[in-house]
Every structure is written in structure tokens, then in C-alpha cells.
């Protein structure tokens, strides 16, 4: 099997454990709703990228049914149950490379305003480089693409901290990996991030991010008060 696999690192929205940093001002159920909107728009973004095979890393593993209902036909669903995101990345990237994909790109599920051009650029970079990294403004990364698995990349990283990006860059240098870097981008973790996305929507085409727009329209009064 040749080609590129684009895998979204996703979680099923669960009230009380999804996007808890948005609470308050959001209620737990509202935080789960906004993440679902971000997730669905990310799936739509990735499904529109021509020439790739779409995959989703499913957490928790028993949420496969949820993702079957919310992904295009033919999407590869990979259930994962890992102690941290690093183990999940290593597992799913390794699985997809093992079945024969030439390139595997992993993307987060909560930054759906990422320009599609960045994903196209990631695919193109892997023609000339061994790794491509999309650095996040919060000190992590929103995308990583590989043509072979470097397990050390995902070990000894302080996941979910601002140290993820600098530690990963240090490992890339230490391993002598030829890497390319995409523009910085942001994901939605905090209330300020959510307000930033709301402002960004005003500059995007009206058809962009329909699910996220739907959330904002339902909670317009709450957002206007902030």
C-alpha cells in the first residue's frame, strides 16, 4: 500500500472530562459540545484533503461506534488505549507505516481553523525530508509527519506541558533527523483560545467551520458577556 495517511488524534466528547479548562465559564456539558464541534470540523477539514487516506485514532477504544457515525465512509479507525499521547502517536503511526503507507501525518483534533495549505505543505515536505513538525503556540505541536518510526521521539517527553516542543526538537537534533517545520498554529484549550477562534471566524468564509459556528450561535450571549 502506497500513499499518505492522515490520522486525527481524537477523543469521544464526554461530559465532565472533555475540555475541562473551559470550565468555567462553560458548564461541563457545554465544554463537551464545543469540543465535538471542533472535532467534527477537523474531520471535515481532513476529509477535504485530496490524495490522502483519512484515519482516526479513537479514544476510548469503545468509542468506535461514535466515530463510525461521524466520519466519511472508508475512514480507518484505530482504537487506542495509552497512558499518554506519546504512546498513542507511536502506536498509530507505527501501525499505519507497518501496513505500507509511505507517509503518515498525525494531526490534533481541536484546531480546525488550520489552513488546509499547511497539511498540503506537510505532505510535500515529506517528499524531501524525513519528518515534518507543526509547532503549537502553547509549546506543543499540532502535527507530526514521518516516513519511518523513530520511537525515541515519543519517549522521555513531558506531555501536556510547554516542554513538549523544545524536548521534541532536541530529540530530532540528537537523532540527526532531517526535519522541516510548518508555521506555528494554535488549538483550543482555554477560554481565550475559544474567543480567539470566534474572532477568526469573522475573517473566514461563511461556509468554513459550520459546526463551530453552530456552537457559537447557540452561546452567543455567553460569549458577548466575556
Tens digits of residue pLDDT in 46-60: 999 999 999 999 999
Exposed, middle or buried: residue 23 (CB in 10 Å: 0-12, 13-18, 19+)?
middle
Q: What pLDDT, on the 0 to 100 scale, is given for residue 2?
A: 77
Residue 219 binned pLDDT confidence (cut-offs 50, 70, 90): confident
Q: Looking at the domain that runs over 4-224, which CATH code has it been given?
A: 3.90.550.10
Q: Is the pLDDT of residue 1 over 80?
A: no
Domain ranges of the chain: 4-224
Query: Which neighbouring-strand residues pair with 144?
Result: 106, 133
Residue 224 binned pLDDT confidence (cut-offs 50, 70, 90): low
Residue 225 binned pLDDT confidence (cut-offs 50, 70, 90): low
Q: Is the pLDDT of residue 188 over 70?
A: yes
Q: What pLDDT, on the 0 to 100 scale, is given for residue 97?
A: 97
Q: What integer best gives the mean pLDDT of the chain?
A: 95
Residue 218 binned pLDDT confidence (cut-offs 50, 70, 90): confident
The reported pTM is: 0.95
Average pLDDT over residues 204-217: 95
User: Lowest-pLDDT range, 77-81, 157-161, 188-192, 220-224?
Assistant: 220-224
Q: Is the pLDDT of residue 201 over 90?
A: yes
The predicted-structure confidence for 19-73, as pLDDT tens digits, reads as follows 999 999 999 999 999 999 999 999 999 999 999 999 999 999 999 999 999 999 9
Residue 160 dihedral angles phi and psi, to the nearest 5°: 65, 30
Angle at 49 between CA 43 and CA 53, to 5 degrees: 80
Q: Is the pLDDT of residue 221 over 70?
A: no
- Residue closest to 106 by CA, chosen among 81, 129, 78: 78
The predicted-structure confidence for 145-183, as pLDDT tens digits, reads as follows 999 999 999 999 999 999 999 999 999 999 999 999 999
Q: What is the Cα Rg of the chain in Å?
A: 17
- Residue closest to 167 by CA, chosen among 157, 175, 159: 157
Q: Write out the three cell numbers for 220.
A: 452567543
**Cα distance between residue 25 and residue 226, in whole Å:** 9
Amino acid at each position: 500500500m502506497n500513499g499518505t495517511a492522515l490520522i486525527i488524534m481524537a477523543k469521544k466528547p464526554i461530559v465532565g472530562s472533555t475540555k475541562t479548562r473551559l470550565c468555567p465559564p462553560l458548564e461541563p456539558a457545554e465544554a463537551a459540545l464545543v469540543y465535538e464541534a471542533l472535532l467534527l470540523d477537523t474531520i471535515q477539514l481532513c476529509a477535504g484533503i485530496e490524495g490522502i487516506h483519512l484515519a482516526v485514532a479513537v479514544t476510548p477504544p469503545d468509542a468506535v461506534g461514535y466515530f463510525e457515525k461521524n466520519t466519511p465512509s472508508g475512514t480507518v479507525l484505530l482504537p487506542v488505549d495509552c497512558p499518554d499521547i506519546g504512546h498513542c502517536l507511536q502506536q498509530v503511526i507505527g501501525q499505519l507505516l507497518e501496513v505500507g503507507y509511505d507517509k503518515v501525518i498525525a494531526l490534533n483534533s481541536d484546531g480546525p481553523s488550520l489552513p488546509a495549505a499547511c497539511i498540503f505543505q506537510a505532505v510535500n515536505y515529506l517528499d524531501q525530508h524525513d519528518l515534518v513538525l507543526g509547532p503549537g503556540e502553547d509549546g506543543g505541536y499540532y502535527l507530526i509527519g514521518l516516513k519511518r518510526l523513530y520511537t525515541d521521539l515519543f519517549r522521555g517527553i513531558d506531555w501536556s506541558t510547554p516542554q513538549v516542543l523544545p524536548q521534541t526538537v532536541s530529540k530530532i537534533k540528537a537523532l540527526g533527523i532531517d526535519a522541516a517545520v510548518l508555521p506555528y498554529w494554535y488549538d483550543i484549550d482555554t477560554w481565550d483560545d475559544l474567543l480567539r477562534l470566534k474572532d477568526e471566524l469573522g475573517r473566514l468564509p461563511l461556509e468554513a467551520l459550520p459546526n463551530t459556528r453552530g456552537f457559537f450561535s447557540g452561546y452567543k450571549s455567553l460569549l458577548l458577556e466575556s
